[in-house]
Structures are given as structure tokens and as C-alpha cells.
Amino acid sequence: MIDELPAAVGSALLDLTLQQDASAYLQIGKDGILNDMGGDLAHFDLKGLVPGEPATKQLLFLDGMLPLSDTPLTLAAVELSPDHYADIHLLPEAKRDWAVLIDRNNSLYWRAQAQQKANELNLLRRRLRRLESPPTQSSLAAPAIPAPILYNALGMAVLEQQADGGFQLVGMPLAELTVLCPDAWQTGKDLYPQREFPFLENFITEAEGAWSNAAKPRRSGPWVETDAQGGEHALEAIAMLWFGRRLLIIELLGERYEEHRGFLQMGRENALLRNYLEEQVHLRTVDIRAREEEIALRLVWAAESRDDGETGAHIRRIGLYSEVLASTIGWDRPSIDDIRIAATMHDIGKIGIPDVVLRKPGPLTTEEFAIMQTHPVIGGRILAGSKSPMLQMAKDIALSHHEKWDGSGYPYGLKGEAIPMASRIVALADVFDALVHERVYKAGMSADTAVEIMAMNRGKQFDPNLFDEF
């Protein structure tokens, strides 16, 4: 594109383009009409530019600038849109003028990024120099322990362990500690705080870890001592190594302990409340489940009471068999509870089958069997449209529990994995229960015999993998 421009302008445009991340150009006649445009106009969010119309219609920064004089002109940091600026280079030619837009935001952004990276690099270099020769406690002169008056102001007493295992107080004792042990806390006297505070017996033994290898300070955790007047004082001990000196700091916690204990108490109360609420939610959920199951069973019993071949016990067994099989294949607890209830509604569509067909004692005719085969669709319609996961599962079961693995079932001839898993589970449970229990028209059989008969339909009527888990 640049090769097609006049040499002078093309050279200038190429030079500017190579120096920037984004650029565009506008070719404008001496009459101010936009003749041509190109480059990365989208970057500048320039819209509504139409060749053949006045350039100043959309480019207000050109108003009053055209036609150009013989000298090139640069408009620095022109606002083209909110938060977007560009440098505008105006280049005159004999018959037309050129406006070259150079992105300003992008260059400023990358300049700032480069400066930030340089600052980070310098910081890393300084850290590296410090790490190359790190100071150690042994290589430094041991500074004095901070002024005891400072520790006293902070509610702390500092003790230094001596060679014989005893301790000496650094500075003046805390008044509160003097109240607890009037004769023990004296400057220049060997102290054995574990004798005054038995709580510290084990802690001083544990503190050897902090004193022997300059480990981080070890805290004892708070404990409470009682003075002669019955007043309680919360304390905490800190063991630390200070440039080879073994220090034991005893801190008076004061109000901070009460605040801490209050937070702990609040935490315990919140935990108890949370456990109580969770238990109430669980009990409520169990109660709702029980009500759902009772309502479902009563509705199903009302429907099945028209069918001499079905009983309430059969309906409940279907739910229990399905629950066990769903648990065996790894379903989660809510889904297992759902199928126990949903399975009982597998034949609810029979409520729409005429008595003359449903209660016929003998074999059904072809026409009557066709009517009987509509009960899955009727059941699906009855249970459709609910937001309840359990009723959605019940709808799938009612609609497809007579589908077969090889696609020879009804009402839609679904095959294999296209049959919902819940329906495949109930199909096994329904056939098994029908075989092992006595009906008006047949005797019952043993569970082993029933499974042997069902095995002949593995991979035909039943999901083979699911049957193996049955």
C-alpha cells in the first residue's frame, strides 16, 4: 500500500509506522473532502468515516487546519476518544493533504512497563548482593537487650538463663508478677520460674529447641495464675535466643487474653450453632423426604388399587431394590433417596388404562395390549413439568422402564445408554420382584432361579453391566 503513495509521503509514512505500534493515515483533498484512508483505524476507534464526505465531519481536530500550508505540522496528544490519545502528523502535498495518526497511549504504556521491569531488576540485584554475604549472629557484635523499661511498658519481664540452669531478671520486675510471687522477683537473684509457675516446667524443657539452634521464638500459650486476693492474671512465656543469650520473656496478657478468650468462646458458640442448624436442616430434610415418600406411596396405591396384580408391598419393594442397586453402583446419597421414592411411581400411568383392559383375567388381545402399552406415556405426562429432582427422575422411570437394552422395548424403542440409568435399575427390580413373589396367575420362585431366568436376557432386556452388579 505504501509503495503506491508519492515518494515523499510514502517515505514519511513508512518511517513513522516503523517507529510505532499502531498507525493509520487519511488522504484529504484541498477542498477538505476525505479521499482515502487506511492503516489500523480500528485501533483508534474512529467510526463513521466515509470517503467523499468532509473530513472534519468526524475529525474535529482538522477543523480550521485545512488546507495545510507548505510546512508539515504535528498535533501532539490529541484526544480521539475517552482515555485515548494520539499524535497527528499533518503532511501537505501539491493536490492533497495527509493526516497520519500515531498511537500515544501504547507507547506510554510500554515505556511505563519497561521502567517498572527495570525497577524490579534493580531491587532483585540489591537483594542478591545482600544474600551473597548474609550476616550471622556470630559475626555481629551482640547488641544490648532493649531497655527493660520498654519491656515493662509492654507488660513483659525478661529473664536470662545462667550456666547453672537458673535465671536472672534483666531490669526491674513487673508489679503484677510481684503480686503473684512477692519474694521471688528480685534483680540479681537466681530465679527458677518453673517453681513459681508449675505450668512452665514442661515449657522450659521444650524451649531447649529454640535456645540450642537459634530457631524462631517458641511460645508457651496462655495460662492463668491466681494471686493471694483471688485475682486472676493471664500470662504467656516466650523462649528465644538473642545473640547467644538464652532469654525467657514472661508477658502479662491483660485485656488481650479476655479478648482472645471472647473470640474463642464466640467461635465455639458459632460452631455449636452451626452444628445445631445443620442438624435441624438434616432433620427437616429427612422429614420432607418421609412426607414425599408417604404422599408418593399413597398416590401410587390409589392408582394400583385398580390393578389386581399389584400390591402396596410390591410397590415398596421396587423402591427398596432400586435403592440397594443404586448404592451398589456408587450413586450419591440424595440420588439414592430419590430413586427409592421415584421407583414406586413406575406404573402410575396405569391410572389411565380402562378397567376392562387393566383387570382382564385372561390374555390381552393385540388391540388391548396396544392400549396397555400406553401407560408409560400416560405416566410420563402425569409426572412431567416438575422442578423436583425426584419427580423428574420418576418421570424418566415411568416413561422408559419398559424399554429394553437391545431396543425392542416400548414405547419409543430406546436402546442401550439412551435409556436413563434410573429406568434400567427399576426394570431389573420390577422383573425380579414379579418372579420371586406369588401372583394370582402364578406361583413364586426362589431368588436364585429368578436370577438364572433373568440372566438369559442379559444384554437383551437388561443392561449387561448393571445386571452383573445385581
State the burial class of residue 381 (Cβ atoms within 10 Å of its Cβ: 0-12, 13-18, 19+): middle
Contact by Cβ (8 Å): 166, 191: yes
Backbone angles phi, psi at 244, to 5 degrees: 85, -5
Judge whether 268 lies within some domain.
no
Owning domain of residue 84: 2-109
Of the three residues 197, 230, 253, the one that is the final residue of a domain is 253
Judge whether 248 lies within some domain.
yes
Detail the DSSP E strand segments found in 82-154: 84-92, 96-103
Region 252-281: mean pLDDT is 74
Most confident option among 12-26, 72-86, 332-346, 429-443: 332-346
Q: Do residues 288 and 202 both lie within one domain? A: no
How many domains would you assign to the chain? 3
Q: Do residues 422 and 319 both lie within one domain? A: yes
Region 133-154: mean pLDDT is 52
Peptide bond into 67 cis (omega under 30): yes
Domain with residue 337: its CATH number is: 1.10.3210.10
Judge whether 413 lies within some domain.
yes
Of the three residues 210, 233, 253, the one that is the final residue of a domain is 253
Judge whether 292 lies within some domain.
yes
Q: Do residues 49 and 179 both lie within one domain? A: no
Q: Identify which of 263, 250, 180, 257 has the alpha carbon closest to the alpha carbon of residue 220.
A: 250
Q: Do residues 245 and 296 both lie within one domain? A: no
Measured between alpha carbons, how far is residue 384 from residues 192, 363, 373, 399 in Å? 81, 31, 18, 10
Q: Do residues 327 and 450 both lie within one domain? A: yes
Helix/strand/coil (H/E/C) assignment for every residue in the chain? CHHHCCHHHHHHHHHHHHHCCCEEEEEEECCCEEEEEEECHHHHCCCCCCCCCEHHHCCHHHCCCCCCCCCCEEEEEEEEECCEEEEEEEEECCCEEEEEEEECHHHHHHHHHHHHHHHHHHHHHHHHHHHHCCCCHHHCCCCCCCCHHHHHHCCEEEEEECCCCCEEEECCCCHHHHHHCCCCCCCCCCECHHHHCCCHHHHHHHCHHHHHCCCCCEECCCEEEECCCCCEEEEEEEEEEECCEEEEEEEECCHHHHHHHHHHHHHHHHHHHHHHHHHHHHHHHHHHHHHHHHHHHHHHHHHHCCCCCCCHHHHHHHHHHHHHHHHHCCCCHHHHHHHHHHHHHCCHHHHHCCHHHHCCCCCCCHHHHHHHCCHHHHHHHHHCCCCCHHHHHHHHHHHHCCCCCCCCCCCCCCCHHHCCHHHHHHHHHHHHHHHHCCECCECCCCHHHHHHHHHCCECCCECHHHHHHC
Judge whether 141 lies within some domain.
no
The length of the chain, given as a count of residues: 470
Q: Do residues 426 and 359 both lie within one domain? A: yes
Judge whether 131 lies within some domain.
no
Helix (DSSP H) and strand (DSSP E) numbers for the chain = 17, 11
Q: Do residues 161 and 105 both lie within one domain? A: no
Q: What is the pLDDT of residue 423?
A: 95
Tell me the residue type at 291: R
Q: What is the pLDDT of residue 27?
A: 80
Model confidence pLDDT, tens digit, residues 256-267 = 777 666 666 777
DSSP line for 28-90 = EETTSBEEEEEESGGGGT-----TTSBGGGT-GGGTTT-S--SS-EEEEEEEEETTEEEEEEE
Of the three residues 206, 231, 253, the one that is the final residue of a domain is 253
Q: Do residues 346 and 460 both lie within one domain? A: yes
- Name residues whose C-beta falls within 8 Å of residue 12's C-beta, 6 or more positions apart in sequence: 72, 89, 91, 100
Model confidence pLDDT, tens digit, residues 25-71 = 778 887 888 888 777 677 777 777 888 888 777 777 777 777 777 77
Q: Do residues 411 and 346 both lie within one domain? A: yes
Q: Do residues 445 and 298 both lie within one domain? A: yes
CB atoms within 10 A of CB 154: 11
Judge whether 200 lies within some domain.
yes
Domain with residue 164: its CATH number is: 3.30.450.20
Judge whether 275 lies within some domain.
no
Q: Do residues 439 and 341 both lie within one domain? A: yes
Mean pLDDT of the chain: 77
Q: Which residue has the cell 476518544?
A: 81
Q: What is the pLDDT of residue 456?
A: 93
Q: Which residue has the cell 436370577?
A: 451
Model confidence pLDDT, tens digit, residues 71-101 = 777 777 777 776 677 777 777 777 777 777 6
Q: How far is CA 320 from the centre of its chain?
A: 36
Q: Do residues 152 and 232 both lie within one domain? A: yes
pLDDT band at 304 (very low <50, low <70, confident <90, very high): low
Higher-confidence position of 246 and 66: 246
